[in-house]
Structure 1
Amino acid sequence: MVHAARPVRPAAARGFTMIEVLVALAIVAIALAASLRAVGSLAASEADLHDRLLAGWSADNALAQLHLAHRWPDLGEQQFDCSQANLRLTCLETVSATPNPVFRRVEVSVTTPGRAGNLAQLVTVLANETNRSL
C-alpha cells in the first residue's frame, strides 16, 4: 500500500502578535509607575523621619540645658529658636506645677514654620535643687 504524501505546509509563524506586545508593554508600564510612586513615597518618609530626628535632638537639648543649669524654672511658657542643621525649628517650653510642690513638670514641643503639628514632644519633671542642702 502506497501512502499518499501529505502536502508540505510552511512552518507556522512563531513570535508574538502586536496585541500581545502592547499588553506586555502596558503591564510593564504600570509596574514601573507603581515602583516610581513607591520610591517617591519612601523618599518623602525618609525626609520626614530626618526632620523628626532633628526635632527630637532639639527637645532633648532644651531639657538637658534645664537639668544642667540646676535652676528652678519659672511657671509659664517660653518660645525660642532651636534650629538644627539647616532645618528651622521652634521650641515651646511649658513649665507647670505638680501636686508635689518640690517638682515642676516641663514639656518641650518642637515645631517648624509652615507645618502643622509637633515634630517632637518631650516631658520631664525637675526637682527644686535650689533649696536642697548638700
Structure 2
Amino acid sequence: MRPPLRRAHGFTLLETLVALAILAIALTAAFRAMGVAAQSAAELRERLVGDWVAENRLAELRATSAWPGPGSNEGTADQAGRQYRWREEVRNTANPLFRRVDVSVFAPESDTHAVARLSGYLARPLR
C-alpha cells in the first residue's frame, strides 16, 4: 500500500503571477503620483520666482520715483540663478496723478506663457 500523497505547501504559479501583476500596477501608480508631485513643485517654484521678479520691478519703479509714459517696456532680470524676461504695460488712470503698471514675467524657455502677472500703481513724484 502506498503512503498518502502529501500536498506541497506554497503558492502556485498562477497565484504568484497575479500577485506580481497587482504589485506592478500599484508601483506604477505610486511612481506616477511622485512624478506629478515633482512637476507641480517645479511649476510652483517657477511661479514663485516669477512673482519675485514682478514685485522687484514694481518696487524698483517706486524706489526710483519713476514716472514712465504710457506704453510697453521690456527687460530681463536674474533671479534664482536664471534669467527671466519681464514686460510691463503702463496705462493712464482716471486720476492724472496715478499710472497703472501691469508686469508680466516669462520663463527663460517661454516667450508666450507668463509665469507671473502683477499689477500696481505709481504716484506722480512731487517736484
Aligned residues: 125
Structure with the larger strand share: 2
Deviation at 1:9, TM superposition (A): 4.2
1:45 aligns with 2:40: yes
Q: Counterpart in 2 of 1:105? A: 100
**Out of 56, 60, 67, which is 2:62 matched to?**
67
Which sections of structure 1, spanning at least 5 residues, go unmatched?
1-7
Look at both structures and tell me which one has the larger radius of gyration over its CA atoms: 1
Q: Counterpart in 1 of 2:109? A: 114
Q: Once structures 1 and 2 are overlaid, which stretch shifts more, 30-39 or 112-121?
A: 112-121
Q: Once structures 1 and 2 are overlaid, which stretch shifts more, 107-116 or 60-69?
A: 107-116
Counterparts of 2:124 and 2:10, CA distance in 1: 84
Which sections of structure 2, spanning at least 5 residues, go unmatched?
none
Deviation at 1:50, TM superposition (A): 1.1
Counterparts of 1:29 and 1:118, CA distance in 2: 39
RMSD: 1.8
1:54 aligns with 2:53: no
**Out of 103, 124, 127, which is 1:128 matched to?**
124
Deviation at 1:14, TM superposition (A): 2.6
Normalising by the residue count of structure 1, what TM-score does the alignment of the two structures yield?
A: 0.84
Normalising by the residue count of structure 2, what TM-score does the alignment of the two structures yield?
A: 0.88
Deviation at 1:12, TM superposition (A): 3.7
Moved over 4 A (4+): 8-11
Deviation at 1:88, TM superposition (A): 2.5
